[in-house]
Every structure is written in structure tokens, then in C-alpha cells.
Structure 1
Amino acid sequence: MNKMTPEEIETALKPIADWQLSEADGATAIERVFRFDDFVQAIAFVNKVAERAETAGHHPDIHIHYNRVRLVLSTHDAGGVTSKDLEMAAAL
């Protein structure tokens, strides 16, 4: 799977709400912060993300800060963002 250019990523992100181009471990990535009423709701969301990620065989980096969850998607094998990342972002 080929990594996308920053321009391709920006174009592909337009219909996917609230995801942004970023960088993770020296590679392009996309990320989004989700906010919840409390920690319990945040963890419930993380558990749903984990189930979806296992099913897809594609796992985001997950950062939990009480009621906020930041997801970072990048295809490590490709060294950047691929269509797999965009598909996962759209599903979340």
C-alpha cells in the first residue's frame, strides 16, 4: 500500500469531519481529538475503537487524557498515511 502525499491527504480529509494532517514518529499521520462528558465515556469509546481496529487489522495510536481521546492514524509499514488510515478515520 502506497503512502499518500500531504496534498492527497488534505483533499481526502475534506469530507471526513475534524481529522487533521499531522506527524507521528517522523511520518505523516492524521489525528483527531474526541471529547466526552467523563472518563467512563472516553474509555467506552476507546473500547469500541479497539474492537473496530482489531476487525480491520489496523490500529491507531490512542492517547487518553481523562475525558479526551486523541487518535493518531498512520500506516507504519508504508511510512505515512494510506487509504487504510482514511477508511478507519471515516468509520470513526
Structure 2
Amino acid sequence: MSRLLDSDEIARQLEQLPDWRLDGDRIVADFEFENFGVAMVFVNRTAEQAEEANHHPDIDIRWNKVHLALTSHDAGGLTQRDVELAHRISSGE
């Protein structure tokens, strides 16, 4: 199990993740795309990244809008795994 990040670590990490914000014990991001098809390409790429990391975000899709939430349920809050996956998602790696 990964170590929980403290509030200072979370704040520093989020400075490098402009798409993401803190929401309780998770980080969240909202992405908007040209249409549903483009949104689904993003969701499918995110799913591949999540599978590779063995760490899965909550995903909400509304036509061209995608809402993602990351937290480490097994650790009870935010860990470095969440931050690393957020970086991968935002950079499109």
C-alpha cells in the first residue's frame, strides 16, 4: 500500500497539474472535447493508462465532457500513484 500524501505535498504536486484540483480526499479534473467521439478516444486512452498503472480513476462521461476523480481507496486518500496517473492522463502519455 502507498503512503498517504500530506496537505503540503498535495499542494506542491497540484502546482504541476493545472487540470486537477483537490476535492476532499481525491483529485479531480474536467475535460471538454469537440464531440462525444473525441471524448471517448480520451476515455479509452485513459483506460489504457489506468490498466498499465493498475490504478483506476472514477470516470463520468456527459456527451463531450469527461470528469475524472483519483484517490487510493486502499490507502484511504491521496498517494503518489494518484499524482503519477494524473500526470500521465494530462500529458497524454
Q: TM-score, normalised by structure 1?
A: 0.91
Please give the alpha-carbon distance, in whole angstroms, between the structure 2 residues aligned to 1:52 and 1:86.
13
Opposite residue 34 of structure 2, the aligned amino acid is: D
Q: Could you list the runs of 5+ residues in structure 1 that have no partner in the other structure?
A: none
Matched residue, 1:15: 16
8 Å contact kept, 1:18–1:32: yes
> Offset at 1:7?
2.8
Offset of residue 5 of structure 1: 2.1
Residue 40 of structure 2 aligns with an amino acid whose one-letter code is I
Give the gaps of 5 or more residues in structure 2.
none
Deviating 4+ runs (over 4 angstroms): none
Q: Match for 1:32: what amino acid? A: A
What are the Cα deviations for residues 40-70 of structure 1, in whole angstroms up to 9, with x where unaligned?
A: 1111110000011001100000010110001
Q: Does 1:36 align with 2:33?
A: yes
Aligned residues: 88
Structure-2-length-normalised TM-score: 0.90
Please tell me whether the aligned partners of residues 6 and 21 of structure 1 are also in contact (alpha carbons under 8 angstroms).
no
| Structure 1 Cα separation of the partners of residues 27 and 6 of structure 2 | 12
RMSD after superposition: 0.9
Determine which of 65, 76, 80 is the counterpart of 1:79. Answer: 76
